Amino acid sequence: MKQIVELILKPNFVADIANGYPLILKEAAEPIDGTLEEGTILKIVRPNRKYIATGYYGKQNKGIGWILTNNPKEEIEEVFFAEKFKNAFKKRERFYESTDTTAFRVFNGEGDGIGGLTIDYYDGFYLASFYSEGIYAFRKTIFSALKEIVNFRGIYEKKRFDTNGQYVEQDDYVEGEVGEFPIIIRENGMNFAVNLNDGAMTGIFLDQKNVRLALRERFSEGKTVLNTFSYTGAFSVAAALGGAYETTSVDLAKRSLPLTIEQFSVNGIDYEQQQIKVMNVFDYFSYAARHQLKFDVVVLDPPSFARTKKMTFSTAKDYPKLIGEAIDITASNGVIIASTNNASFNMKKFKTFIDKAFKEKNKRYKIVEQYSLPEDFVTLEDYPEFNYLKVCIIQLLK
Ligand code: SAH
């Protein structure tokens, strides 16, 4: 039996939680006793000790835990998780049926009722990501509920709860078939090589699926495409399959070169006809400007925060500058695809970054398409702040 501890909310935070806000903010209650174990069930009460909700204690960025239910009788045991999973899988039925797309998110944290836990499906393999020690404390129950409900080839996990949601290095295999990685998954008919047991990332960011499709279908034919912060080159693959004249992928991580070659190859694209540069994007911008290179399409998909020996980059501070650099090397009438997964600002703010950059360059533009998380990344309608992805497709105007 898990211990249950009462957490008395400060008056200002009662209404939000009572109305369904899922995150227990650090400042919502008096500091929790340092000896309390993460994973402890919290009975969340009003200052007068009346029940509001049940949650769990788990430290993650701004929060100290997540709400799980507002039913005082509901116990947080296997049936609880099984029910949540069932509902979530039901919502993804049509994804399971597709042969065109064989990787997608099946459980999206608070959007599916359990903050701090996501589960992705990769062609028969399930990958569970745990975002705090607290949710990891339920690991056994979670996997046993999962196994009750789905047939699987294998299960893998990521612990993402080192300080600030960093990945904890480990062997990520849990049970079932040991994957022979890379496995090839499909997304809207494109192939992607995926490795579930090689660090924090798998080779593909599933949340960009609609953007990859848009790039392939509407912005690539006959175009030159620069893909910055390209990682395994997934956007370059989409562009090449969409008929791009040439793609250029830029990423400073050495591993990006073999991984990008692999992504092209599993799609039958001759990587020697494409450019792959292992270098700092900002150095590449200078190089391109010096050589007066212009691209029809420039993709910007930086990490929220990055530090190299020479510099630090933060999307919240430096995005306008990044767009400015991109404008300089985008052909007139070209397109910039600007993306960020930084949850600390919203789409409105993101658009002010775009506007600022274009004003500074004295250029006109039009946002022709915009994207947030795709349908399988279920989010709470009332709380758009958890829908972290923001992508604008921007057309430069003469
Ligand atoms: N756009 C990619 C995902 C990007 S992940 C996709 O669609 O799959 C972020 C990538 O940025 C990482 O691969 C990291 O190596 C790279 N990166 C971070 N800082 C960089 C810099 N200054 N220059 C080039 N690449 C950088």
- pLDDT tens-digit series, residues 48-81: 999 999 999 999 988 999 999 999 999 999 999 9
Let me know if residue 194 belongs to a domain. no
Let me know if residue 250 belongs to a domain. yes
Residue 357 sits in the same domain as residue 244: yes
Which of 69, 103, 124 is the C-terminal boundary of a domain?
69
How many separate domains does the chain show?
3
**CA–CA dist 387, 381 (Å, integer):** 9
| C-alpha distances out from residue 273 to 287, 311, 329, Å | 20, 32, 21
Distance (angstroms) between ligand 1 centre and the Cα of 302 equals 6
Of all protein residues, whose CA lies closest to atom 25 belonging to ligand 1? 251
pTM as predicted: 0.97
Which pLDDT value is given to residue 231?
A: 98
Average pLDDT, the chain: 96
* Nearest-atom index, ligand 1, CA of 280: 23
Pocket of ligand 1 (CB under 6 A): 205, 208, 229-232, 234-235, 250-253, 256, 280-282, 301, 303, 306, 308, 313
Ligand 1 pocket test, pick from 205, 251, 277 with the greatest ligand atom count within 8 Å of Cβ, gives: 251
258 prior amide bond cis, ω within 30:
no
CATH of the domain at 130: 3.30.750.80
Which pLDDT value is given to residue 163?
A: 62
**CA–CA dist 376, 378 (Å, integer):** 5
Ligand 1 pocket test, pick from 202, 208, 209, 252 with the greatest ligand atom count within 8 Å of Cβ, gives: 252
Three-state secondary structure readout of 9-46: ECHHHHHHHHHCCCEEEHHHECCCCCCCCCCCEEEEEC
Task: Count how many Cα atoms sit within 13 Å of the Cα of residue 357 in the half-sphere of its side chain.
Answer: 24
Distance of CA 277 to the CA centre of its chain: 24
Q: In the chain, pLDDT over 70 holds for what percent of residues?
A: 99
Instruction: Name the pLDDT band for 170 (thresholds 50, 70, 90).
Output: confident
Of all protein residues, whose CA lies closest to atom 10 belonging to ligand 1? 229
Give tens-digit pLDDT for 358-382: 999 999 999 999 999 999 999 999 9
Which pLDDT value is given to residue 339?
A: 98
Instruction: Name the pLDDT band for 2 (thresholds 50, 70, 90).
Output: low
Of all protein residues, whose CA lies closest to atom 19 belonging to ligand 1? 306
User: What range defines the domain where residue 41 resides?
Assistant: 4-69
Residue 213 sits in the same domain as residue 318: yes
Of the listed ranges 212-216, 305-309, 332-336, the one predicted with least confidence: 305-309
